[in-house]
A and B are shown apart, each in its own frame.
Chain A
């Protein structure tokens, strides 16, 4: 457990965002995860991303399932409502909450056990409904809280801490999401904040379901030699195929000279995601090609990272359901209840 008490004093020249808030205002309570846990780095990136996006913390809903990763929503945005739900059931809570109020920003934090085993069905259907949310899958290939069992994302040949070797093929959330029709698929590494922060921002700006699969090593149970989800292995085999830069709405686009052939995609809210393919000819708007490339890299033992796929305009849950623009929670009762006259009229045909 990381045991550093946070000082409550604020440095007078500490950086503020447009709302006058500091990074500290986007933090939560002290993490109780193991020191060095990848999840804590992701939490820090989430804090950074929300801070830089100037989002009022209370306009965010943060949700999770059960597991180490699902503990983390208490560690960021203490002024946002949080919902630590059941094992594997975060997508359903997020879907219902979003149906009731689509005006908030939604971040769901889950893990590989939560999303790929007990909650696989819910995960797939949240993709299918294109629920407008950032789905953060903190992927470490192992069950931490129950002390080291393989998860469904464990690679063939990877070994457990006590030497046991996994023989079964992994479920890869990124390629699965691609086949399910996900409108935003990205992968990153908890140790690469430079890559992670822009991806979180792009995912939050995306109108629809944005999967961010982040390899996040478990220092206690899966950071040994033989693990394919360790810091060392991910650093060595991580392969960024697309560099991504996020330009929020209303920010001046300051083109950097070294961008080369950057492609810009305008998001639903007007912000811009710019990306530059590292791998030649990689096109993250071509689903089939993205899948093929991902699989080719996987076959070579490499972990493709970056913005793997984006479809900037797609129908989300509210478009499918044709709901009013106003959040349903804000619709006054008078507009919902048809009244006695209608009831009488309706019943006149029930004879």
Chain B
């Protein structure tokens, strides 16, 4: 945060606390080089994050990768860039303008830098990367690719990244491709040697090995969610490709190819269908759920809009389904490769008519795994669509997370599904009868027993499952469904609450804002501001959420959309008066930073702004 507050080993160098931004052009292979840097820092035991800021494009547009290393474990995005690797001349100007005073620019000095770009308060380190690669490699493609690897080498030298760690990563990556391994090794040394020779010890920041990551792994939320689907026993997935949800199904397929082959026949114990559109994707999920399979679809805002009609049907006809909404910046096509939390209203009340849906809000990839499993249980238990609402930052970026664990005693909650034997003991089966008084009727699966047959319909039906246009009979069913959904509130994961003494103000947040808000909470606490913390993890809201809001004079809701959707949802769905709610909003498409939160909270509390960064 505030530069001067950082611990220093000597007068100049800050250890294990910096932001490095890599500016490149997409489609040039820089993503794997950047990932390698982040992975190397992780393996040195230092808490780290890597945020990919990329265009909706295949090749040729600017792309950035932001690496933040922080020994205290604060790895939310930070805009306070110490070092920039300026590899894209087209963005030199904005990249160089972003560096904090005292920071450094590493650039390709094969061509001279326009003098107008120079800043007196920033260190310029030129390495002739392109020249070196032209001299050492053959062919345009290899020269472009190896330039990325060469800057990795240079960064290793400048930040004191252990070359042994890089060697290890390369070995795992290219163990079967000796020629690639050789090229990469050459490129790493080119950059490393040049930087050591010319710039050793010049950077204001560097790394030292720690042991913070012993029990952690690197994972994306989409990978974790996909893994959750595998562990929950999901067998049918249907989807239409959409950024930023695509990698969820790609991951599911990849995991299933390894983990879901029938050992005897080699055939698939799963079925993934790439549908013609999202209308069909959700239809396939409902068809499979109706049949008794655990089925899911990953999507994002635009896909969700298309799914609306079926989501209403699933709610009304009471069909389990799991929908992963990996949010991106809307409305319309919006900024498809930028993050946002703009779908809260869409998911909470998807479809026309009276509806209300069960939502889970994971705060990081680790929760994507556990909430995915939970979502399948809830969907079958409450016979309704359940949404796991994450975002691009959680879904697509690598996060350092505590290792996942699995309880081998886990038994899926299939809800009230009647077997042939159950049916034989009944006089007559009626699909929508609330026999237990909890609002949840029993269901039957097709093909099991003639006695279980019923007609699933989105048209008006009575408690016996028969078509109706009778007002009383219609209301009887929709009122019961409302009761059923309200009943789900206390079955959802408990909210994360942190209380301190004498706090009258609460910081309230949801989803991927968690990391930045917790970091900000720490900073504000250091300033002597007493604040409580609430992170909501599910909808409908539990009593604990309402109690927290009511027990504070003021609740500042921090979320990533323009309209304060989550705040409004709290206002609609709890007894909290409007006067007790305020917002800090961030919706420019980048992952939330603690700076924004600190500034916003101070402003809401009427405190004098302090210079940040």
Indicate, yes or no, whether A interacts with B. yes
B-binding segment of A109-117, A166-174, A236-244, A324-332: A324-332
- Determine if A328 and B450 form an interchain contact, defined as CB atoms under 8 angstroms apart: no
Q: Cβ of B236 and Cβ of A73 under 8 Å apart?
A: no
Chain B interface size range: 35 or more
Most buried by B among A61, A96, A322: A96
Q: Does B230 contact A (CB under 8 A)?
A: yes
Assess the A92–B275 pair: CB atoms within 8 A. yes
B406 and A96 form a contact (CB under 8 A): no
Q: Which residues of B contact A104 (CB under 8 A)?
A: 446-447
Question: What A residues does B295 contact at CB under 8 A?
Answer: 96, 100
Q: Is B410's CB under 8 angstroms from A337's CB?
A: yes
B543: interface (CB < 8 Å): no
- Is the beta-carbon distance between B235 and A97 smaller than 8 angstroms? no
Question: Which residue from chain B places its CB closest to the CB of A73 in the assembled complex?
Answer: B455
Most buried by B among A57, A74, A91, A336: A336
Cβ-defined contact, B273 with A331, below 8 A: no
Asked if A101 and B286 make an inter-chain contact with CB atoms under 8 angstroms apart, the answer reads: no
CA distance A319 to B289 in the complex (A): 21
- Tell me whether A129 is interfacial, beta carbon within 8 Å: yes
The stretch from B257-265, B529-537, B592-600, B603-611 touching chain A is: B257-265
Q: Are A99 and B283 in contact (CB under 8 A)?
A: no
Q: Is the CB of B387 closer than 8 A to any CB of chain A?
A: no
Residue of A nearest to B411 (CB): A333
Task: Say yes or no for A125: interface residue by CB 8 A criterion.
Answer: yes
For the complex, is A82 an interface residue (Cβ under 8 Å from B)? Answer: yes
A101 touches B283 (CB 8 A): no
Contact A84 to B458, CB < 8 A, known contacts A58-B449, A121-B277, A338-B259: yes
Is B403's beta carbon under 8 Å from chain A? yes
User: Whole-angstrom distance from the CB of B316 to the nearest CB of chain A?
Assistant: 11
Assess whether B74 is interfacial by the CB under 8 Å rule: no
The answer to the question of B245 belonging to the interface, with a C-beta cut-off of 8 Å to chain A, is no
Cross-chain contact A321 with B272 (CB below 8 angstroms): yes
A53: CB under 8 A from chain B? Answer: no
Q: Give the complex CA separation of A56 and B599 in angstroms.
A: 69
Cβ of B270 under 8 Å from chain A: yes
Partner of A96 from the list B227, B230, B288 (CB cut-off 8 Å) is B288
Q: Which residues of B contact A81 (CB under 8 A)?
A: 290, 444-447, 452-456
Residue interface bits A171-201, CB-to-B below 8 A is 1, else 0: 0000000000000000000000000000000
Contact for B286 among A96, A122, A318, A333, CB less than 8 A:
A96
User: In the assembly, what is the distance between CA of A343 and CA of B405, in Å?
Assistant: 7
Whether, in the assembled complex, B131 has its beta carbon less than 8 Å from a beta carbon of chain A, the answer is no
Residues on A with C-beta less than 8 A from B403 are: 344, 347
A125's closest neighbor in chain B, by CB?
Answer: B276
Residues in B with CB closer than 8 Å to A317 are: 273
Task: Report if A262 contacts B (CB, 8 A).
Answer: no
Contact A92 B446 (CB under 8 A): no
Cα–Cα distance between A6 and B467 once the two chains are bound (Å): 19
Chain B positions within 8 Å of A80 at CB level:
446, 453
Q: Which residues of A contact B213 (CB under 8 A)?
A: 351
Q: How far apart are B467's CB and chain A's nearest CB, in angstroms?
A: 8
Say yes or no for A98: interface residue by CB 8 A criterion: yes
- Mask, A38-80, CB within 8 Å of B = 1, is 0000000000000000001111010000000000011000111
Contact assessment for A99 and B271 in the assembled complex, using a CB-CB cutoff below 8 Å: yes
Complex alpha-carbon distance, A320 and B155, angstroms = 47
Known: A84-B456, A85-B458. A96 touches B236 (CB 8 A): yes
Taken together as a complex, chains A and B put the C-alpha atoms of A239 and B42 apart, in Å, by 74
**Which of A56, A94, A122 counts the most B-chain CB atoms under 10 A from its CB?**
A122
Closest Cβ–Cβ distance, residue A72 to chain B (whole Å): 12
Known: A92-B287, A322-B267. A83 touches B456 (CB 8 A): yes
Is there contact, CB below 8 Å, between A329 and B291?
yes
Q: Is B310 an interface residue (CB 8 A)?
A: yes
| A340/B405 in contact, CB under 8 A | yes
Q: Are A89 and B231 in contact (CB under 8 A)?
A: no
CB distance from A31 to the nearest CB of B (A): 13
Question: Could you say which of B217, B265, B289, B408 contacts A350, with CB atoms under 8 Å apart?
Answer: B217
Which chain B residues (261-311) contact chain A, with CB distance < 8 Å? Answer: 262, 265, 267-273, 275-277, 279-293, 295, 309-310
**How many angstroms from the CA of A97 to the CA of B284 in the assembled complex?**
7
Contact among A59, A83, A321 for B290, CB-based, below 8 A? A83
Residue of B nearest to A90 (CB): B283
List chain A residues, Cβ under 8 A from B275: 92, 125
Tell whether, in the assembled complex, residue A321 and residue B268 are in contact, meaning their CB atoms are under 8 Å apart. yes
A95 touches B287 (CB 8 A): yes
Minimal Cβ-Cβ distance residue in A for B272 = A321
Q: Which residues does chain B contribute within 8 Å of A338, judged by CB atoms?
A: 230-231, 259
Contact flag A331-B291 (CB < 8 Å), given A91-B280, A122-B280: no
Binary CB contact string for chain B from 376 to 409 against chain A (1 if under 8 A, 0 otherwise): 0000000000000000000000000001111110
C-alpha spacing A335/B412, complex, angstroms = 13
Residues of A within 8 A of B282 (CB): 92
Partner of B283 from the list A58, A96, A325, A347 (CB cut-off 8 Å) is A96
Which one of B292, B309, B411 lies within 8 Å of A86 (CB-CB)?
Answer: B309
Min distance, Cβ B600 to any Cβ of chain A, angstroms = 34
Q: Taking the nearest CB of chain B, how far is it from the CB of A60, in angstroms?
A: 8
Do B268 and A324 touch across chains, with their CB atoms under 8 A apart?
yes
Provide the residues of chain B in CB contact with A56, threshold 8 Å: 450
- For the complex, what is the distance from the CA of A317 to the CA of B284, rounded to whole Å? 13
A59 to chain B: which residues have CB within 8 Å? 447
Q: Does A299 reach chain B (CB closer than 8 Å)?
A: no
- A323 close to B (CB within 8 Å): yes
For the complex formed, measure the closest distance between the CB of B302 and the CB atoms of chain A, giving whole angstroms: 16
Assess whether B283 is in contact with A85, with CB atoms less than 8 Å apart.
Answer: yes
* A57 lies within 8 A of B288 (CB): no
Whether B457 sits at the interface, judged by CB under 8 Å, is yes
Q: Which of B233, B276, B458 meets A336, CB within 8 Å?
A: B233
Smallest CB gap from B285: residue in A:
A96
Q: List 25 A-B contacts (CB under 8 A).
A: A80-B446, A81-B290, A81-B445, A86-B283, A92-B279, A94-B287, A95-B238, A95-B273, A95-B287, A96-B273, A96-B288, A101-B291, A104-B447, A125-B276, A323-B268, A323-B271, A337-B230, A337-B231, A338-B259, A347-B219, A350-B217, A351-B39, A351-B43, A351-B213, A351-B217
* Interface pairs A-B: 8 shortest CB-CB: A92-B283, A96-B287, A96-B284, A81-B446, A100-B293, A97-B287, A79-B450, A100-B291
Query: Which A residues form the contact surface with B (CB < 8 A)?
Result: 56-59, 61, 73-74, 78-86, 89, 91-101, 103-104, 121-122, 124-125, 129, 317-318, 321-325, 328-329, 331, 333, 335-340, 342-344, 346-347, 350-351
- A96-B285, A96-B289, A99-B238 given; 15 more Cβ-contact pairs under 8 Å: A57-B450, A79-B453, A80-B453, A97-B291, A99-B284, A100-B235, A100-B288, A101-B292, A122-B283, A129-B273, A317-B273, A323-B267, A324-B262, A333-B411, A335-B262
